Amino acid sequence: MNGSSIVVTGAAGFIGSCLVGFLNSQGYTNLLLVDEFSRADKEPNLQGKTYLQKIERESFFDWLQNNDPSIDFIFHIGARTDTTEFNYAIHEHLNVEYSQKIWNYCVAKNVPLVYASSAATYGGGEFGYDDNHELPFKLKPLNPYGVSKNEFDKWAIQQATQPPFWAGLKFFNVYGPNEYHKARMASVIFHSFNQIKKGGLVKLFRSHRPDFKDGQQLRDFVYVKDVLKVCYWLMQNKPASGIYNLGTGKARAFEDLVKATFAGIDKDPNIQFIDMPEDIRDKYQYFTEANMQKLFDAGYTEKFYSLEEGVQDYVRNYLSLGKFY
């Protein structure tokens, strides 16, 4: 390693902390971690990890100015991800304006950038799930979070000055270790596991659309370990810049997910259907499926975990043991 460092924003969160662990496993310890580090429930995510320094999110740009560090790469994973937060100003500050400042820094200092976008940008899916650069200008996301992520994607695509390499990753439904702190926003696997432990059954949202049976709402669930591999590959290979989908390319039913969770703790499935809360009912995605061709065309060849493989690994090796990545 030379004297340059890698920045990971959102480093105390779910995907960010896993990325720190993955970079450590590849021999990178020269990491600058950016986040709001006040939350005690996120602290275990970073235990045992090696890094240079933690920097508070709101003072990061002052810190950069004062220290002028040599930076090799920025992973901008941090975001306000709460889809039930309807105050757009909060999303705008963190997901649009903050991201623009990161981008402008990368342009000024010639630093490559990978940032987290989201499949929430696709809204109801009426325009499909292609990661071309025309689509963001048509999309109608269903909540302020999705709007903010799409606004930044549009802004990035339109910039005349760009980092030497950049990729906006549209994360689909990511699940895996280190989401213990996420409460309502944690994955269905996490909630299912806890429901099984507590009461022996899992409650799933009933379908409120005639074209979908209960439990057959479909999402593209992607295991966090695949997300880490793609992030790392992009840093190493720097293919064509642009927006990239990051799912598995295969939509699966919530019912399959829950059955795999039961299988992970060697129990027979026991599922009960409940009404979806009113506040998310008309903003709910019934189907998401990433078109992954662009990443494959760019040269990515690693095989993705199947839903069953990913859930099995997560449940047996992390949730059942209360372990972190």
Instruction: Indicate whether 193 belongs to any domain.
Output: yes
Same-domain status, 187 and 238: no
97 and 191 in a single domain? The answer is: no
| Residue 324 is assigned to a structural domain of this protein | no
The secondary structure of 56-103 as a DSSP string is EGGGHHHHHHHH---EEEEEE------TT---HHHHIIIIIIHHHHHH
Spatial distance between the Cα atoms of 233 and 256, rounded to a whole number of angstroms: 29
Give strand pairing partners of 126.
Answer: none
Residue 279's pLDDT is 81
Number of domains in the chain: 2
Same domain, 117 and 198: no
> How confident is the model over 249-271, as a mean pLDDT?
96
Cα–Cα distance measured from residue 311 to residue 173, given in angstroms and rounded to the nearest whole number? 13
CATH value at residue 52: 3.40.50.720
- 76-94: per-residue pLDDT in tens? 999 887 777 788 888 898 8
Query: Which of 159, 4, 149 lies closest to 73, judged by CA?
Result: 4
CATH of the domain at 264: 3.90.25.10
Q: Is 250 a catalytic residue?
A: no
- The per-residue pLDDT for 107 is 98
**Are 192 and 315 in a shared domain?**
yes
Looking at the structure, tell me whether residues 25 and 106 fall in a common domain.
yes
Does one domain contain both 120 and 65?
yes
Where is 152: in which H helix or E strand? helix 144-158
Catalytic residue among 129, 145, 180, 232: 145
**Which domain covers residue 270, as residue numbers?**
183-218+252-285+311-319
Nearest in space to 159 (alpha carbons), one of 123, 133, 122, 141? 133
Domain identity same for 212 and 243: no
The pLDDT of residue 1 is above 60: no
Q: What is the pTM (predicted TM-score) of this model? A: 0.94
Residues 271-280 have pLDDT tens digits of: 999 998 888 7
Same structural domain, 67 and 187: no
What are the C-alpha distances in Å from 279 to residues 83, 84, 180? 11, 8, 24
Active site residue 182: yes
Q: Is the dihedral of CA 44, 50, 51, 52 positive or negative?
A: positive
The answer as to whether 325 is a domain residue is: no
Furthest CA-CA distance within the chain: 59
Nearest to 83 by CA among 184, 177, 168: 184
The active-site residue, picked from 182, 203, 238, 283, is: 182
Mean pLDDT for all residues in the chain: 94
Q: What are phi and psi of 77, to 5 degrees?
A: -100, -20
Domain match, 168 and 94 both: yes
Calculate the CA 77 to chain-centre distance: 7
Same domain, 23 and 100: yes
How far apart CA 5 and CA 262 sit, in angstroms, is 42
Position 117 pLDDT exceeds 90 = yes
